[in-house]
Structure 1
Amino acid sequence: MSPCSPRAVLFDLDGTLIDSAPDLAGAANELRAAHGLSALPYEHFRPMVGSGARGMVGVAFDVGPQHERFAELRDDFLRRYEQRMMLETRIFDAVVPVLDTLDARHHPWGIVTNKAARFTVPLVRSLGLHERAATVIAGDTTPHSKPHPAPLLEAARQMGLEPSECLYVGDDPRDVQAGLAAGMTTVVAAWGYLGIGEPLEAWGARHIIKTPAELLNLLGMA
């Protein structure tokens, strides 16, 4: 893995920086319980976290956005998630030293997520990341969310950098698509949720890393 020298690193949030799957799965199972259904195993939900409420409701009730019940189930799920979203969610243990190293080297980093600001802002604040991140872009910060490049372009603009000077790390095909469209170096976080579909090698990212520590190797900071 040859080192690269971006001036800033941007991270997706869920599945890349933080492990939010337990709270998302918990909210989905709470919703199942409210409908008289038994809990599903956590492992059923984890791969679909990158799809947000659509993925969680899809797993919990086997319905998609076109289903007549979907909107009601989605809204109830989001209410339940908002009430418990900081109960079990943590920064991935192996990510902590990576952020510490970036901070120690005065190397700016930021967050670009499709999670709506109503969830992103309190979550990032509760985890102590708001004072450290150079920028935080939520799913509704710009008119478009990933895979559109607009959120990444806005992050670069806020940091006073060209998109080509940024590296974007994510765990979903949409992260890679957005990064490529924005002209950024793209990296797949293989410890993330990843979804169910094409193999990681088919996503088109410049790099695939299995552990957060490999990012420091890639940046020449190890």
Structure 2
Amino acid sequence: MVYQVFIFDLDGTIIDSEKIGLEALQATLSEMGIVKDLEELRFSIGIPGLRTLEVLDISDTQTALDTWFQKQQPHMQNVPIFRDILEVIKRLPKTGIVTSQTKKELQAGFERLSIAQHFQTVVSADDTEYHKPNPDPLQLALQYLNCDSNEAIYIGDSPYDMECAKSAGVDFGVAAWGLTSTTRFTNAEYIFKNPYEILQLTT
């Protein structure tokens, strides 16, 4: 299969940021008297912060969000970029990002990494009412990129990403380079062990 458009998740797919986010969330909850280990918080990877706090039944979500953001911010402008991913993205015909980060979060990290110029569009959690795993963010990206669903692939690292793709009628590829296991992705069309494998879908 050859695709014209390659849309990526951000955290855990392009940037190695998930541990930063989980540890900041864990510290935020600890200050509120809530003790959680990192594995208990792993469900939050791939969904917006507000939804995470709702699942955790946090009453003062705005204060918790602000604290979580403040704890992440010092680390996000120096967050590692996964090896080889930018070299691959530069060689793709058309690219975009669909992320559960807010615009504020993107400004604190992604936009300081000097990689935004490699993407034709970025859809954040602020751009749609409903978020991953709902298809709306991915469908908006397709609209911005003037692309039909069968011309695109979405590449991410969470089951929320896969469900979003399936709901939007878009093929899904797992960014396995940041994962320890791919057992939860039995419905994915592709499992990419390294970014260079993506280039096989351009010719």
Q: For this structure pair, what is the TM-score category when the shorter chain's length is used for normalisation?
A: 0.7 to 0.9
CA deviation string 1:107-162 (max 9, x = no partner) = 11010011111112443321222222100000121111111111111111111111
Task: Kindly indicate whether residue 177 of structure 2 is the aligned counterpart of residue 206 of structure 1.
Answer: no
Partner of 2:85: 95
The partner residue of 1:127 within 95, 105, 113 is 113
The Cα RMSD (Å) is: 3.3
Contact 2:159–2:185 (Cα < 8 Å) also in 1: no
1:1-20 alignment, distance < 5 Å = 4-20=1-17
CA deviation string 1:65-124 (max 9, x = no partner) = 22557765444212322x32424412211312212322xxxx110100111111124433
Unaligned regions of 5+ residues in structure 1, if any? Answer: 58-62
Partner of 2:153: 167
Which secondary structure does the structure 1 equivalent of 2:90 belong to?
Answer: helix
Q: Quick one: percent identity of the two aligned structures?
A: 28
Contact 2:90–2:118 (Cα < 8 Å) also in 1: no
Contact 2:98–2:124 (Cα < 8 Å) also in 1: yes
> Following the alignment from structure 1 to structure 2, what is the Cα–Cα distance between the partners of residues 95 and 21?
16
- Residues 46, 67 of structure 1: alpha-carbon distance in 2 compared, 3 angstrom cutoff: closer
Which secondary structure does the structure 1 equivalent of 2:198 belong to?
Answer: helix
Aligned length: 203
Contact 1:10–1:110 (Cα < 8 Å) also in 2: yes
Task: Please identify the structure whose Cα radius of gyration is greater.
Answer: 1
Partner of 1:60: none
Relative to the length of structure 2, the TM-score reads: 0.81
Relative to the length of structure 1, the TM-score reads: 0.74
1:149-168 alignment, distance < 5 Å = 149-168=135-154
> Following the alignment from structure 1 to structure 2, what is the Cα–Cα distance between the partners of residues 182 and 129?
26
Contact 1:144–1:150 (Cα < 8 Å) also in 2: yes
Task: Kindly indicate whether residue 110 of structure 2 is the aligned counterpart of residue 110 of structure 1.
Answer: no
Unaligned regions of 5+ residues in structure 2, if any? Answer: none
Contact 2:45–2:158 (Cα < 8 Å) also in 1: no
Contact 2:135–2:164 (Cα < 8 Å) also in 1: yes
Which secondary structure does the structure 1 equivalent of 2:97 belong to?
Answer: strand
> Following the alignment from structure 1 to structure 2, what is the Cα–Cα distance between the partners of residues 69 and 120?
23
> Following the alignment from structure 1 to structure 2, what is the Cα–Cα distance between the partners of residues 157 and 36?
44
- Residues 74, 96 of structure 1: alpha-carbon distance in 2 compared, 3 angstrom cutoff: same
